[in-house]
Amino acid sequence: GAVVSQHPSWVICKSGTSVKIECRSLDFQATTMFWYRQFPKQSLMLMATSNEGSKATYEQGVEKDKFLINHASLTLSTLTVTSAHPEDSSFYICSVNRGDYTFGSGTRLTVV
Amino acid sequence: GENVEQHPSTLSVQEGDSAVIKCTYSDSASNYFPWYKQELGKRPQLIIDIRSNVGEKKDQRIAVTLNKTAKHFSLHITETQPEDSAVYFCAASIQGGSYIPTFGRGTSLIVHP
């Protein structure tokens, strides 16, 4: 599998602010990356597919204006949670497909 | 689309016992079935996978079985240890291209010393 780095590992922000999460594929040029959200004791919910050089593909029910995804290079995808609210608090994980599916280390977002 | 059901949601065993987690899938085109282990606050990590051209695969204390006809697959952990305690997710997908696996809801395995 690929080596995937995600940053930050945790972040606390105030309501109304924006938070950017980075996902890097360290040893593999990924034309697509995937962003998941995971609530406590629940499964992984696919939010969107990040496409290098083009628009992301969002899953039904995910607000694209709230969760901005940018995939400007083959090794970096970013997820920006805009105007964050407490209900956006969650564990966000990216992943890369290189034969098998490798996950980043995850970002614990807490909005206060 | 694919639908993956996973049972049980919680499994509690004594150290040394075996643990079995079962999943069913709906799309007969699915041909790749990975299992992930997620410890608290950490990323899911692939522990074993199976492709549709085999019925069973084993790696030390972990084994996975697949019944294509019945569309179900299972994870078997023998001689469980406290460090096996985690949440386990099954998934089903069609491998090739930018496949996106469908995950089960997860099973919280607790191994009591």
**B1 contact residues in A (CB cutoff 8 A):** none
Among B44, B46, B100, the residue with its CB nearest the CB of A34 is B100
Q: Among candidates B3, B29, B6, which has minimal Cα distance to B88?
A: B6
Please tell me the distance in Å from A17's CA to the nearest CA on chain B.
Answer: 24
Helix and strand element counts for chain A (H, E): 0, 11
Supply the Cα-derived Rg of chain B in whole angstroms.
Answer: 13
The series of mean pLDDT values per 10 residues for chain B, 113 residues long, is 93 98 95 94 93 92 96 98 97 78 94 96
Report the Cα A42 to chain-centroid distance in Å.
Answer: 17
Tens digits of per-residue pLDDT, A94-107? 999 887 789 999 99
B49 touches chain A (CB under 8 A): yes
Count of pairs with CB atoms under 8 A, one residue in A, one in B: 44
| Closest-CA residue of chain A to B101 | A101
Q: Across chain A, what does the average pLDDT equal?
A: 93
Among A43, A97, A104, the residue with its CB nearest the CB of B104 is A43
3-state secondary structure of B84: helix
The answer to whether B105 contacts A42, with C-beta atoms less than 8 Å apart, is: yes
Region A79-83 average pLDDT? 97
Tens digits of per-residue pLDDT, A36-54? 999 888 889 999 999 998 8
Q: Among candidates B46, B39, B44, B45, which has minimal Cα distance to B86?
A: B39
Work out whether strand B19-25 and strand B45-51 pair parallel, antiparallel, or are unpaired.
Answer: unpaired
**A34 contact residues in B (CB cutoff 8 A):** 100
Cβ within 8 Å of residue A19, ≥6 positions away: A11, A13, A80, A81, A84, A109
Q: Within a 13 Å sphere around the CA of A21, how many CA atoms are in the beta-carbon half?
A: 33
Please tell me the distance in Å from A55's CA to the nearest CA on chain B.
Answer: 15
What are the two backbone dihedrals, phi and then psi, of residue B84, each rounded to the nearest 5 degrees? -80, -10
The answer to whether B34 contacts A102, with C-beta atoms less than 8 Å apart, is: no
* Confidence (pLDDT) at B53: 87
